Structure 1
Amino acid sequence: MSAYMTQFAYTAEAWKALVKKPEDRAAVFAEHAEKLGGRVLSFYYCMGEYDGVVIFEAPNEATAASILFTAISPGHLRATKTTALMSVEETMEAMRRAKAEAYPGPTLWSPTPS
């Protein structure tokens, strides 16, 4: 399964509702992801541009997108940002593959100033 990290920010109305009646949104998202074929690995709240981050697995991008589309659809989030994650092993394999190939830069480009 592939891993994804989604950062999210609640609307002011969502925060108002959560403060009035606290709710474990990690459990809600985990149950939702499992119904659609995914699995939550971790869920954290944070301070800054985003209010939280969830790392989850899905068998493919279409499944990951369906998990996110349905989670976003109620309108309680003002922003999301999703990043596909690669394990160290996957990254090492990508580096080994890249080492075997050479990609030419533009003809007039030079990596050092002239």
Structure 2
Amino acid sequence: MPDYAYFFSYRPETWAQLLAGPGDRTPAVRATVEDAGGELRSLYYTLDAFGGLAIVGAPDADTAATIGLVITASGAFTDVRVQPLVNAADVVPVLERARDTAAGYRRPGH
């Protein structure tokens, strides 16, 4: 199952609610991810303006997008970004294909 990184930033009101009622959000996040068909691998907070990062396994891009839409629609975040993660070994064929394709590319104006 491919992994995706979900970078998120909480709204100030969300941080205020977390301060008023501290608790581990992992079970709630895990339930949402699993309801969509994914697997929560880890959840981290950066404790700054950024917010945090969740690593999620999802069977396909549609599932990853579904999870992103659900958390964005909650209104608790100022920003949610979803990025597919590529295993280091899996980058080699991509680099090789890019190398082969680059030979025919001409930048604009050249």
**Structure 1 contact 29–71 (Cα < 8 Å) conserved:** no
1:7-30 CA-partner distances (Å, limit 9, x unpaired): 111111111111111121222111
Change (3 A) 1:24 1:103: farther
**Whose helix fraction is larger, Structure 1's or Structure 2's?**
2
- Runs of 4+ with >6 A deviation: none
**Structure 2 contact 30–40 (Cα < 8 Å) conserved:** yes
Q: How does 1:1-114 map to 2 (within 5 A)?
A: 1-101=1-101, 102-106=103-107, 109=110
Provide the aligned C-alpha RMSD in A: 1.8
Unaligned runs of 5+ in 2: none
Q: What's the secondary structure of 1:8's corresponding residue?
A: strand
With structure 1 as the length reference, what TM-score do the two structures score? 0.82
| In 1, Cα distance between equivalents of 2:74 and 2:108 | 50
Aligned length: 109
Larger C-alpha radius of gyration, 1 or 2?
1
Percent identity over the alignment is: 27
With structure 2 as the length reference, what TM-score do the two structures score? 0.85
Unaligned runs of 5+ in 1: 110-114
